[in-house]
Amino acid sequence: MVKYIFLDIDGTLLGKGGRVPASAVDAVQTAQKRGNKVFLCTGRSKGEIPKQVWEMGFDGIVGSAGAYVEAEGRVLFHRPMSGEMVKRLMECLKEWDAYYAMETNEKAWMTKEHFEKVNKKFENMDIWEDEVRKEFLESFGVCKSVLEMEGVNKCIYYECTASIEEMQEKLPEFTILPSSIENSGKNNGEISEKGMSKAKGIEVLQQYYHIERSDIICFGDGLNDMEMIEFAGIGVAMENGAEELKKIADYVTDHVDENGLSKGFCKLGLIG
């Protein structure tokens, strides 16, 4: 029986230094050779996915926390924010002194001033290898005004003076979550149109492939993985994941840096 496997990136596929463990690469490719289909399911936009991840050869992607879905090179779903929504976000984030980027499928767009702040922030953080950090920063694009950008799927923000609770109260038409990049600092997060989630993106693929929920397996570590872990036939949380996620998962596998993904695949009979 074919299984449909959905994998988060940060903290699930990417481990120490921002690298994919060799065991995870082998697990994904072995599972595919056995006839299963493996998809990325990430808060990142398509343009922010590292080369090392793309080269693994996934069958498709649920990107931008569900706002973009692609299977075998075919776009199945894309729901960008309206211009009015983007404008409202910009006004509030300016009020809260945050710097931010608006994610499209190609790049995450921000002003030159904001890019300089992001560049400085990540250069001063010892969470990724230099090559990984360089590639991440190259996924940003600089523009005069993000209002000029079309196809904005999601917003990522940094150093906001308001709490998520305060932000959510003022922006009820959005879903606001903390950043899925571990150790990236405080008051950083992501903002999606309300109703968008990784689970919604998986539903698009479920209908496309006529999948039973019992054949869906999801792996994640962050709060933006909650819906997909609940939706899956089998939801697996990483040991390094959020405690709230581990409480609702069917199974908790080992830490990403301790071959957790590979061990999870093995336990579920996908490899081994």
Q: Is residue 149 part of a domain?
A: yes
Provide the residue-wise pLDDT of the chain in tens; the chain has 272 residues.
Answer: 899 999 999 999 999 999 999 999 999 999 999 999 999 999 999 999 999 999 999 999 999 999 999 999 999 999 999 999 999 999 999 999 999 999 999 999 999 999 999 998 888 777 788 899 899 999 999 998 888 888 999 999 999 999 999 999 999 999 999 987 766 667 899 999 999 999 999 999 999 999 999 999 999 999 999 999 999 999 999 999 999 999 999 999 999 999 999 999 999 999 98
Helix (H, G, I), strand (E, B) or coil at 26: helix
As given in the structure block, the two tokens for residue 195 are 């109703």
DSSP 171: -
Domain residue limits at 187: 83-193
Same-domain pairing of 110 and 34: no
* Sign of the Cα pseudo-torsion (62, 68, 72, 73, in order): negative
Rounded distance, CA 145 to CA 242, Å?
Answer: 35
Location of structure tokens 């060799």:
22
Same-domain pairing of 179 and 91: yes
Same-domain pairing of 72 and 145: no
Nearest Cα residue to 261 out of 26, 71, 18: 26
- Among residues 165, 193, 221, the one where a domain terminates is 193
Contact indicator for 156, 108 with CB cutoff of 8 Å: yes
Q: Is residue 171 part of a domain?
A: yes
Q: Is residue 272 part of a domain?
A: no
How many CA within 13 A on the CB side of residue 138? 9
- Among residues 160, 193, 226, the one where a domain terminates is 193
Same-domain pairing of 216 and 254: yes
Location of structure tokens 């950043």:
179
Same-domain pairing of 126 and 182: yes
Question: From the DSSP assignment, how many helices (H) and strands (E) are in the chain?
Answer: 10, 14
Same-domain pairing of 173 and 91: yes
Count up the domains in the chain and report the number: 2
Give the CATH number, domain containing residue 155. Answer: 3.30.1240.10
Same-domain pairing of 112 and 169: yes
